[in-house]
Structure 1
């Protein structure tokens, strides 16, 4: 089955391969995120695209692409050796973003790879760390709590850690509750409130009440909803 989306290559709708031999002038192999090998790997499983960036803004889910995204992310430095060029960085970004996919839920290899990307040295740009954490929030489950909690402990305050705070809501345990409470006085406080509601935490209403007057409208709204849902 061919994945269809707005920016798919012209002529690929019915499974033809001619489009791969008639590339737009802006695509040159090994430059700016275009790699013929990835294009061919994905086309072989019914995912026509010129670049991973096109897919990142395309289909909501690409089940048949998940094994390819995982394989390339696991072997990226081998397949594109040398220093981190703009080209390899663009491909890394596309691989990470395309794992923000419900089809990767529970995939331990994908989860391990994304955690490794967040920990990579030298660090990847914060926007990529945020996308990796967005993916972890979506695909990691309660059994991954120890991994996610350890990663959250390592991350400084910033946008990257915010999705992991929301992830805590999947874990109905005192340990997850205590971690979420630590973020009620941080930029992630809105997500911390959401996590506490999702896990049905008890004994936290009095800690959320002051946030009804928070400076951020979204946090005020989240806090009010939480007080309506939490029993104590």
Structure 2
């Protein structure tokens, strides 16, 4: 069976048609074990039809990479074994790339990916803010309404000022249950009020117009606009 090669702007020269010679003539800046470059990962992805030098190439490239998902999952789940020791800048760079590449519609509904991203958010010491934000973006992108209990638990665990909470609160709009409605209402008093307004509007929540109307005169233009958008979607 022929492996289809992912095509994107910036892919390694010579890899377009599944060629592999490019891996034997790497630019000097790519040194195994440094700055997010790992030859093993490069070779595994290339064999799956996903040619790249580093994960950053992919995170900024194709919109979706179905063939790469199993590799991203296996590496992220076993990253400490594959690159043992302390969390060096190199390993952290690879962790970032793995998390970012799981923000992919091809992973939608995957219990395995969702559990893995949640495990990353629960790591101690906590991940740096960009990695937490990417993990939250991934969860919001791929979680289905059936994953509401897990997402609600993550929301309860994240600090109130964590920016990663915003996409998770907007995710509530996809759930459209009484529990999701109440969870979104709770956020109207917090920092993520815009996300909460968006969620309530998306789910067309009933019985909340009186809660949203006061935000139409809020001092923040972003809040005012979100409230107006939500009210237009809500039932009378």
Q: Mean Cα displacement is larger for which, 126-135 or 222-231?
A: 222-231
Q: 2:56 aligns with which of 53, 57, 64?
A: 53
Structure 2 gaps, min length 5: none
How many Å separate the matches in 2 of 1:11 and 1:211?
56
Structure 1 gaps, min length 5: none
How many Å separate the matches in 2 of 1:222 and 1:59?
31
Q: Specify the alignment match of 1:205 in structure 2.
A: 209
Q: Specify the alignment match of 1:22 in structure 2.
A: 25
How many Å separate the matches in 2 of 1:103 and 1:213?
41
TM-score (ref. length: structure 2): 0.96
How many Å separate the matches in 2 of 1:60 and 1:73?
20
Q: Specify the alignment match of 1:182 in structure 2.
A: 186
Q: CA deviation at 1:186?
A: 2.2
TM-score (ref. length: structure 1): 0.97
Equivalent pair of 2:63/2:104 in contact (CA under 8 Å): yes
> Tell me, what secondary structure is at the counterpart of 1:184?
helix
1:30-69 matches, cutoff 5 A: 30-69=33-72
How many Å separate the matches in 2 of 1:66 and 1:165?
25
Q: Specify the alignment match of 1:226 in structure 2.
A: 230
Matched, 1:162 2:159: no
1:69-218 matches, cutoff 5 A: 69-157=72-160, 158-218=162-222
Q: CA deviation at 1:219?
A: 2.4
Structure 1 segments of 4 or more deviating over 2 A? 213-219
- Across the two proteins, how many residue pairs are aligned to each other? 232
